[in-house]
Amino acid sequence: MTHKYGLDLTKKACFYTYLASSSAFALPPILFITFHEMYGVSYTLLGTLVLVNFITQLAIDLVFTFFSKHFNIKLTVRIMPLITSFGLFIYALIPMLFPEKAYIGLLAGTVVFSVAAGLSEVLVSPTVAAIPSDDPGRDMSRLHSLYGWGVVTVVVVSTAVLTLIGRENWMYLTFFWALLPIVSFILFNVAPFPEIDLQHSLSPEKTRRKNLALALCVFCIFFGSAAENVMTNWISAFFEKALGLSKTWCDLAGMALFAVLLGTVRTVYAKRGKDIYPVLFFGMVISAILYIVAGISPFPVLSLAACVLIGVFTSMLWPGTLILMEEITPRPGVAAYALLAAGGDFGASVAPQLLGLTVDGVSESGLAAKIGESLALTGEQVGMKTGMLVAAIYPILGAVAVLLIGKLFGRSISLKNKHIENQSNPE
């Protein structure tokens, strides 16, 4: 009983860690304009911070994919929150103490807390999966729902605090967010730690089957992450430039509302969800349709609704792929989680960048000017809408990956779901 209670505390520590670490993702974009105005940091260098964030996380994912057996997993999880705090402290301290070296501090802090973010992606999910549960899929969904709620909390609290204390005092807000992961450090050090598989030996035939399953899941999470993060990164700009809405409305109906829907759907699945396969397939298909609607609709309200609803239908694509992986590859191991995290991070970094290149390329073309003239749109608006149409390819290819998984591993999924139902109805 004590052990069960202790592992319940471990699970709560994982949940809190996901909630607290969301500040490392949501806080920097809120402060970008402040950094530009206070320290003269160019938009290109600010964009580089985002790129460094994803590249660092991707590097951590790949290290754990190939070398997880060389790490002390328990120790790494326990010190991970301190790395987050340390990175945020660097992020705030160097610009405050050495304003002329502000960008060095921002860059160094970004690298450090991105290391922690990468560790969180790789290690927290398998930790939760290793804790005995009546419904592991719901636990995984609940874990990932907290990211969305964390982003909403950071956006709302940070906006309110900066309004009260002034944007020039942004570093004190950062110190506050840096303190929260310390609670995770304390929780992880008083709670027991479950046994996590680093390498699970299988027969050659089962190894080949597992590798095929992991490869398809990597494709699935890449396209799902791309579909989610294109809209996450571009929704405010699309609302402002393509639909002509005010900046305040773009931020509220963009990033914040998108995160609310993300968190809500993941929470609902955690309470009521049963079968992840159709959720993934229809999430991909409907997301593709919504991207097309956003790109071709002449009605701003319809385009706005399509963009917001993408938050609903992409919400389970990342955590859902992890759930599906656990169903078709029992006891996948840390390396498998790291490999999927790498696929997700790669999609999150590449897809928004490609959309930006598409928007720039189309906007400056003569064809965009001609089309815009006939539709009463600027070249930039035509570029934005074209970008949305191009982005539809990600969930379309994701749907193909899900179909292949269903065709090749459908029986495994059926048996797993049947097993869950039998556990729920033990008569």
Name the fold adopted by 203-427: Growth Hormone; Chain: A; (1.20.1250)
CB-CB contact of 84 with 113 (8 Å): yes
pLDDT number for residue 69: 79
CB-CB contact of 263 with 146 (8 Å): yes
Distance CA 33, CA 46 (A): 9
Q: What angle separates helix 136-165 from helix 23-39, to the nearest 10 degrees?
A: 30
Distance CA 51, CA 349 (A): 7
Helix (H, G, I), strand (E, B) or coil at 426: coil
Neighbour count for residue 91 (Cβ, 10 Å): 29
Token pair listed for 193: 């730690």
What b/e sequence results for 124-140 when a residue is b if at least 16 CB atoms lie within 10 Å of its CB, and e otherwise? bbbbbbbbeeebbbbbb
pLDDT number for residue 423: 41
Report CA torsion sign: 193, 199, 203, 206.
Answer: positive
Q: What's at 83, amino acid-wise?
A: I
Distance CA 95, CA 106 (A): 7
pLDDT number for residue 78: 92
Distance CA 217, CA 221 (A): 6
- Outline which parts of the chain fall under CATH 1.20.1250.20: 1-185, 203-427
pLDDT number for residue 1: 40
Per residue of the chain (427 residues), what is the pLDDT tens digit? 445 556 788 899 999 998 888 877 778 877 877 888 899 888 678 777 877 888 898 888 888 877 777 888 889 999 999 999 999 999 999 989 999 899 999 999 999 999 998 888 888 888 888 888 777 777 888 887 887 788 888 888 888 898 899 889 999 999 999 999 999 999 999 988 887 765 554 455 566 777 888 889 999 999 999 999 888 777 766 766 656 665 555 555 666 777 788 788 888 888 877 788 899 999 999 999 999 998 888 887 888 888 889 989 999 998 889 888 888 887 777 888 888 888 988 888 888 878 878 877 887 777 767 776 667 677 777 888 888 899 999 999 999 999 999 888 874 444 444 444 444 443 3
Token pair listed for 368: 């965009």
* Long-range CB contacts (within 8 A, 24+) of 197-202: 197/130, 197/331, 197/332, 197/333, 197/334, 198/68, 198/69, 198/73, 198/333, 198/334, 198/335, 199/68, 199/69, 199/333, 199/335, 200/331, 200/332, 200/333
Q: What's at 378, amino acid-wise?
A: T
* Closest by Cα among 315, 307, 318 to 391: 307
In order of 109, 182, 315, the CA distances from 81 in angstroms are: 14, 6, 25
pLDDT number for residue 372: 66
Q: Which CATH architecture has domain 1-185?
A: Up-down Bundle (1.20)
In order of 5, 6, 8, the CA distances from 1 in angstroms are: 6, 8, 11
pLDDT number for residue 248: 55
* Closest by Cα among 189, 171, 187 to 88: 171
pLDDT number for residue 211: 82
CB-CB contact of 288 with 395 (8 Å): yes
The whole model's pTM is what?
0.74
